[in-house]
A and B are shown apart, each in its own frame.
Chain A
Amino acid sequence: MKISTAFLFDRATSQMSTVQNRLAKAQAQMAQGKQVITPSDAPDQASTIARMKGILEKQNSYLDALNSARNRYQSEETALSNVNSALIRMREITIQAANDTMGPADRQALAIEMAGLRDQVMSLANTQDENGLYIFAGSRVKEPAFAVASNGEFVYQGDQSTMNILVGDQRTVQLNRSGADAFQRVVRQDVDGNNYGVGFFQAMDDMVNAVKNSDREAMNRGVGEMDNLQIGIGLALAQIGTDMNVLDSQQTVLEETNLRLKTTLSDVEDLDYAEAITKMNKEMLALEAAQSSFAKISQLNLFNYIN
């Protein structure tokens, strides 16, 4: 079969440019370290890569949610453990005040210290986060959780709503503790024998007044109630501790998932340097061979031999 001169040249040129294209692509891949530089390089892989990147982003956002939950727990824990210390001190004072050897004047001094502690605990119960929102107020976060009404009563101004957030595809954690849950009420019996609840701060206030007025019965009652108040705070702290453990284990899970996803993504997207360099060498060899063979063959012409 005859090969025309034009065909000979055209064919050689197009083949050389094909090899050059492959070389250029290999060089670009190696410079960026990726096998798939633009989605059009591997159109069938483009959707897989997009999906995996999406899942990775979602895991990262769960990690962010975890961190904000952890910050919240830590501020609640700090506040509650300070409350606990104050309550312990208050209990000491109460027992000291209940002692018969104390005189009314001494008790007045103790009552002043107790009042100070009560106010400290109240300000801890009204802790604010970095945005100025009250963390123990349930969902009524713009107002302090506990306040003193005009008639001197201690009222809880928040509500009992609990907020949950997602920290994993199927995992929710409770973000807040409402003031009513953390600062639990105590139960007293009225004259008919019926139980009725008395708020946390009201009980503390009653205690302070009892010491101030040297009311023996109320002071004895107050000692028992102080124990109950501490139990309530202790329970809340335990719950926070448990939740923080949950966060930690969830973080481990998320980080492992992240690693797995990144590995899979890298398999698809990243370049295997050893393979790429070998391929590049092969292409370079092919290009050199094509170029030199073309140089030799193109010079063969019958006219060179006809003088």
Chain B
Amino acid sequence: MSDLLSISSTAVMAYQRALGTVSNNIANVGTEGYSRQDVALTANTPSKQGNVYLGNGVRFAGVQRQVDDFVQSNLRNSQSELATQEPMVSYANRVIDIMGGESTGLTSALNQFFDASRDLSADPASGIQRANFLAKSDNVTSRFRELAGQLGNIDDETRQAIEVKVTQLNTLVAQLALVNKQLAKAVSADKQPPELLDQRDRVLQQISALSRITTKFDAKGAVSVSLGDSMQSGLVLEAGFAKPLNVKFSDNADGKVDLVIDLYGKNPKGLASLGSGEVGGLLAFREQVLTPARNALDDLAKTFVSEVNAIHRDSLDAYGNPGGDLFALDGSLVHVSQGMTVALDDPLKIAAASQFRVIESPFNPSPVDAVVSYAAPTPRLPADISVGLSNNPNLAAAKPISIGASQPFAMLTSIGAGTTDAVVYLDDLQAGQQVQVLTREGVHVLGSELTFEAQDMILRQNYGFEANALYSTGYLNQTDELAYRKSDLFLGAKAMPAFGQVFDDAGAPMDGIPLEASLTTARLSALITGDETGQVIAEGALTLNGQSLGALVAKGDVLQATEVAAWLRSTNVPGLTVEASNEIVVPSTQLKLSSSLQLNTASGQRATITAPAGGFASAAALVEAINAARFTSGVEASLNPEGDLVLQNVAQFAGEHITIGPNDLGGAPDNALGLSAGAVAGQITLTRSLADPKDNEIRMALGTNGTAVDLQTIGLRMGVYVQGQASDSYLVMVQGEGTLKAAASYTASTLDPKQALRNEPFDITFVADDRYTITDKNTGTVLSTRAFDPNALPAEVSYRGITLAFTSAPLQGDVFTVDGNHDGVGNNEGALRLVALENMRVVAGGKTLSEAYIQEVSDVGNIAQQALVAKDALTVVHDQAVEARDAISGVSLDEEAAALIRFQQAYQASAKVMQTASTLFDAILRVN
């Protein structure tokens, strides 16, 4: 009934509840995340009385939570953005403080190192300066290690911070899941208790401080949260199920981070990155600042160490040895600058001097100064012997070479400096072909003098010769003290005493027993005839151990080995024995025991050994039969231990031709031996006794009008012999058209060319303004005579990698000595090179070491500055978002006070209405 009492009672109840709501707001004025609750009052449905609608009072409809979802989400986003900048600013500033600080940064340590090398260059022999330099080097390494350690600490800190924050994130998401479960109980969002929704929003706010989130609310107010930009990727919360985020750090230098959602669940998914929020900010700091800074520091350390070590190794220390490494890096560490140390502890091992020294003679007419530098020379043609010819002296392994008419010479090989006991055998040379051996400087050491045309054609840079070198025959075919650098060079056929291998009781090799030098020719050709006078080899064509041989004449139709032996014997070289022999070995399988045989030596008679009926019983029978006829034929036979048949001359005819018959039948041998019919010549063996230890070799060289063909006629191989270690590169060439074969035997060089050069000091003497000679100081040999252009700039001379740069063109009479600086301790050129490193642009991108480091500091500084500016801007945005939210959801005490008064008055008025209704009822009751 719409009467006073019921209406006022509805009003009283409604306003009572309204007052309760207002007092709730006032009580929660300081509560974090509380949204103001507004009272919703609706009028009750009116009741109809007749034609009139009468109202039924007021009803407390409910509490409205004052919140704008859009503003809330805006606030969350701006909070994420702001939280990103904070770790970046604070950690980047820490990195800058470490890297740019004077006592912690690298700049001052590097400067002190170069200052110490400057001081060292002023006084390199002083022990104090050396100790100081060592101390400053140690300083640099310890600063590198410190820096790397500090950056490593920041790495650990940020790593821990990320792990902690991710755990917090996971906890919050789990809380939110519980809230979602609670929310599922009510029917719709309107019916949810506002405090629960406030809690949900509060947790969402906390999560967004850690990471940017995307949210989706369903009809009941439950929220799905995703860490990515869309709900598809990065979903961590759906209805009541929370998926934890897992973060994994790699230990490599790239510092990559793997983010995985629900790692141990059914369906783990990777997350590409966390864009914002505190965790995102930390990850961005590691990626943009920390990892590049650590890698740049490591690269700088590697460059610094390698450059300093290269310079140090090129210099000489106080002991006179080439320097070793000054700094060392520990390669087993991921970040190498954490393991940088000084590799020396002896100040005398610091290399400050240069490895080569040039001394201007005090008697020089001109005041020219020279500066010496060394650069390893590039290998030049022709190819070194170890590359071009295999180490196998046998004829079968020889390399065939053909020389045509268009270029009538061939550069065969170069015997590199340091090659030991090299021999180049040249076989099958033709008439007109000559072997020449020269150094790269045009000094002719073996062969015969070149004509002017030949010099012009051959001595060119593209054939391996030095550009300005002049041809010299001063050392041509010289020996002993007069030879080029007193080396033992020989062209011809040579035999030396060999050393048999001897082992002692334990099986270790002992010094060998010398065996006599022995030279055995190949089997002569059986058909050598002389010219019209019977002369095979002219007088003076060959020399044996320095003695010129007379003419070799064939007395009979063809030349016999015995004649050659007698001819060789005629020289009367002391201790020389020459034997001619002719031995034919026939394997038993080759014997044709059914055939007969005709044998004779040149001085013997032809003897026929007839096979008995049925053939010879065995090889032994054949031997017997041959021996039976030996007095006639002059040929005897025997069986060797392998069962082969050996034919030789009878002793007094040793060396003569052995003729075998009968003639071949149809091209195939028709004799018991199975050999082709015809004469077989012998061979000659020369032996030299060991009586004279200084003169116990056999050397057969060419005479003034001899050619290689003469040597080959008597079955000897032409060879280029370099005894001992080759002091220079020798170029071996053959002049003249034709084909030939080349083989070699040698021990390859193991020399370090730079250190070898240091032990061979030389003089550069200017004999004229436009000509200079290079003389080896150890042996006095003139290594080179070269033309010099006094007008060319810069005035320079190069030899085997050493370059002498003159301040101006030297004059006639100037002498410059270059040596390996074995005792010049006061030399400071090595230290000067270290000083010059400070300004050299050795870092990638054309920067010096200091510049590269300062660039790194500047990069970090820029990022920090950008973060600072961004933070300021985002703070403003965030403040505005907070303000907007508070405008809607915040509690203002003044507003609540006003509402309190309003509802209080309404309550009092309604109470008054009740009182009036009661008075009216009393009035009716008093009617009696």
User: Which residues on A are within 8 Å of B, measured CB to CB?
Assistant: 1-7, 11, 38-40, 43-47, 49-51, 53-54, 57-58, 61-62, 64-65, 68-69, 129, 131, 133, 137-142, 159-166, 169, 175-176, 180-181, 184-185, 197, 301-303, 306
With an 8 A cutoff between CB atoms, is B111 at the interface? yes
Q: Are A43's CB and B862's CB within 8 A? A: yes
Q: Are B854's CB and A51's CB within 8 A? A: yes
With an 8 A cutoff between CB atoms, is B46 at the interface? no
> Can you list 9 A-B contacts (CB < 8 A)?
A43-B96, A43-B862, A44-B858, A54-B111, A57-B108, A131-B126, A131-B127, A133-B126, A142-B125
With an 8 A cutoff between CB atoms, is B323 at the interface? no
With an 8 A cutoff between CB atoms, is B119 at the interface? yes
Residues of B within 8 A of A180 (CB): 362
Given A64-B119, A68-B122, A142-B125, also A4-B890 (CB < 8 A)? yes
Q: Are B887's CB and A2's CB within 8 A? A: yes
Q: Are B826's CB and A133's CB within 8 A? A: yes
Given A38-B101, A40-B93, A185-B362, also A46-B123 (CB < 8 A)? no
With an 8 A cutoff between CB atoms, is B824 at the interface? yes
Residue from the set B114, B362, B891 with the largest chain A CB neighbour count within 10 Å: B362
A177 CB, min distance to chain B CBs, angstroms:
12
B residues 782-835 in Cβ contact with A at 8 Å: 821, 823-828, 832, 835
Given A61-B119, A301-B894, also A46-B827 (CB < 8 A)? no
Given A40-B97, A43-B93, A47-B855, also A133-B125 (CB < 8 A)? yes
Residues of B within 8 A of A57 (CB): 108, 111-112, 115
Residue from the set B101, B122, B855, B897 with the largest chain A CB neighbour count within 10 Å: B122
B residues 680-716 in Cβ contact with A at 8 Å: none
Q: Are A140's CB and B118's CB within 8 A? A: no
Given A6-B886, A7-B882, also A197-B858 (CB < 8 A)? no
Q: Are A161's CB and B883's CB within 8 A? A: no
Q: Are B858's CB and A47's CB within 8 A? A: yes
Nearest A residue to B121 via CB reads A165
Q: Are B96's CB and A39's CB within 8 A? A: yes
B residues 857-879 in Cβ contact with A at 8 Å: 857-858, 860-862, 864-865, 868, 879
Residues of A within 8 A of B92 (CB): 40, 43
User: Which residues on B are within 8 Å of A, measured CB to CB?
Assistant: 29-30, 36, 92-94, 96-97, 99-102, 105, 107-108, 110-112, 114-115, 118-119, 121-123, 125-128, 353, 357, 359-363, 369, 821, 823-828, 832, 835, 838-839, 850-851, 854-855, 857-858, 860-862, 864-865, 868, 879, 882-883, 886-895, 897-898, 900-901
Residues of A within 8 A of B901 (CB): 306
Count of CB-CB pairs between chains A and B under 8 Å: 199
The answer for the CA separation of A234 and B115 in the assembled complex, in Å, is: 35
Q: Are A1's CB and B123's CB within 8 A? A: no
From the candidates A3, A51, A65, A166, name the one contacting B886 in the complex (CB within 8 A).
A3
The answer for the CA separation of A142 and B823 in the assembled complex, in Å, is: 9
From the candidates A131, A133, A139, name the one contacting B357 in the complex (CB within 8 A).
A139
Given A5-B892, A133-B125, also A46-B96 (CB < 8 A)? yes
Residues of A within 8 A of B895 (CB): 2
Q: Are A46's CB and B826's CB within 8 A? A: no
The answer for the CA separation of A50 and B901 in the assembled complex, in Å, is: 68
Given A64-B119, A68-B122, also A4-B892 (CB < 8 A)? yes
The answer for the CA separation of A163 and B119 in the assembled complex, in Å, is: 13
Given A43-B865, A185-B362, also A7-B890 (CB < 8 A)? yes
Q: Are A61's CB and B115's CB within 8 A? A: yes
Q: Are A7's CB and B854's CB within 8 A? A: no
Q: Are B115's CB and A58's CB within 8 A? A: yes
Given A61-B118, A68-B122, also A53-B883 (CB < 8 A)? no
A24 CB, min distance to chain B CBs, angstroms:
16
From the candidates B93, B357, B832, B860, name the one contacting A161 in the complex (CB within 8 A).
B357
The answer for the CA separation of A64 and B122 in the assembled complex, in Å, is: 10
Q: Are A141's CB and B861's CB within 8 A? A: no
Nearest A residue to B855 via CB reads A47
From the candidates B97, B127, B353, name the one contacting A38 in the complex (CB within 8 A).
B97
Given A65-B122, A139-B824, also A46-B858 (CB < 8 A)? yes
From the candidates B100, B826, B857, name the one contacting A163 in the complex (CB within 8 A).
B826
